[in-house]
Amino acid sequence: MDFTLTSDQSALLGALDRLVAPFESKPIDFHGFALVGSDLERELTEGEYFDIAQIPEMGALTAAMAVERLAWLPYTADIALSMLVRPHLPGDWPRPLAVVENGRPGRFVATARTLILIDGDDISLAQVTPDDVEPVDSLFAYPMGRLKRQPKATKLSAEDAATVRKWIRVALANEATGLIQAAIASAVEHLSVRKQFGRPLGAFQALRHRMAECAVLSGGVRWLALQAAATADDGDAALAALHAQDSATRIVYDLHQMLGAMGMTLEHPLHLWTYRLKALMSELGGRGGQSVAVAQHCFA
């Protein structure tokens, strides 16, 4: 599949690069888990970037590339669901969006206006107010929240539910792509400057081999995620989400191992990407859930 950018796509993604430039680094005095990008979200809204997928010249593929680029940032906001899932919801539902899976806490639930409620095979949509939700403490690098009371919800048809589930997988895979790439870049920088036995850590062959394996996995995640966005195929979406969750499990472990004790502190920013990946690893049933979906859509 040819992912060569058109002139319109290049111009839009170039403008996005300029918009996010002030958000490339975390504040020096920030030592928490979730770095919420309220200012980033406001600028994306004002620039109408959340509507990229609905522009005929752009479509879901361009939106997926934008999601990937924004996931590189240490700041987090509801971006993937709004850009890739919201255009496929039946009706006009306000953002921000969040997913509540089988009643468990979820990312951005405490600030969402629309909830995607997953209960087994059923999916419902609900508009919520701040009285319906509450934040919860979490080690994940996302603002997590949960329902305080069950809102009035609209149950989707089986066809619409399948479509929403597919695009959640596409959103997950493309967000994971950016997070993985940013985490690898952060670790590479550390290995380049941190010395041991008079040599940069990155000069040791064992670490080079492990980093090369991470890079190969990252490349596979990216191409599968982009293909899923371009084809809108159920099988491609399931494969992309499965490979993203499986690769993230291995990459997160390796990167923290390579950083040693520094990788377990809040001083280094690695956790701003890897702890978001930890949240994504379990969504939609985790690797087991995606494996079942792959079997259903690719081999049935």
Q: Which domain holds residue 214?
A: 159-298
Q: Residue 3: is its pLDDT beyond 80?
A: no
pLDDT of residue 195: 65
- Residue 140 confidence (pLDDT) above 70: yes
Let me know if residue 108 belongs to a domain: no
CA distance 2 to 65: 14
CATH number, domain of 249, equals 1.20.140.10
pLDDT at 139: 92
Q: Give 134: exposed, middle or buried? Use CB within 10 Å, 0-12, 13-18, 19+.
A: middle
How far apart are alpha carbons 232 and 221 in whole angstroms? 16
Gap between the Cα atoms of 115 and 83, Å rounded: 15
Q: Supply the pLDDT for residue 116.
A: 98
Q: Give the other-Cβ count within 10 Å of 115's Cβ.
A: 25
Beta strands 97-101 and 114-119, pairing class: parallel
Comparing 1-5, 20-24, 190-194, 245-249, the range with the smallest average pLDDT is 190-194
Tokens in use for 8?
Answer: 């319109």
Torsion angle defined by CA atoms of residues 38, 92, 84 and 238, in that order, rounded to the nearest 10 degrees: 130
Please determine, for residue 190, whether its predicted confidence score (pLDDT) is greater than 90: no
pLDDT band at 93 (very low <50, low <70, confident <90, very high): very high
Instruction: Give a yes or no: residue 32 inside a domain.
Output: no
What is the model's pLDDT at position 4?
84
245 occurs within a structural domain: yes
pLDDT score recorded for residue 203: 62
Grade residue 202 by pLDDT with cuts at 50, 70 and 90: low
Q: What predicted TM-score, i.e. pTM, was given to this entire model?
A: 0.94
Partners of residue 118 on adjacent β-strands: 101, 123
Is 266 a member of any domain?
yes
The reported pLDDT for the residue numbered 200 is: 74
For 143-162, what is the mean pLDDT? 96
Q: How far apart are the first and last CA of the chain?
A: 24
Give residue 241's pLDDT: 98
Interacting residues of 43 by C-beta distance below 8 A, sequence separation 6+ = 19
Domain membership of residue 137 (yes or no) is: no
Whether 201 has a pLDDT exceeding 80, the answer reads no
Report if residue 47 sits inside a domain.
Answer: no
The answer to whether residue 221 is domain-embedded is yes
Average pLDDT over all residues of the chain = 93
Residue-wise pLDDT for 33-91, tens only, equals 999 999 999 999 999 999 999 999 999 999 999 999 999 999 999 999 999 999 999 99
- Residue 65, domain member (yes or no): no
pLDDT at 258 (0 to 100)? 86
The domain tally of the chain equals: 1
Average pLDDT over residues 140-152: 95
Per-residue pLDDT for 6 more than 70? yes
Mean pLDDT over residues 89-108, rounded?
96
Whether residue 259 is predicted with pLDDT greater than 90 in this model: the reply is no
Per the CB < 8 A criterion, the answer to whether 99 and 106 are in contact is: yes
- Per-residue pLDDT band at 221 (split at 50, 70, 90): very high
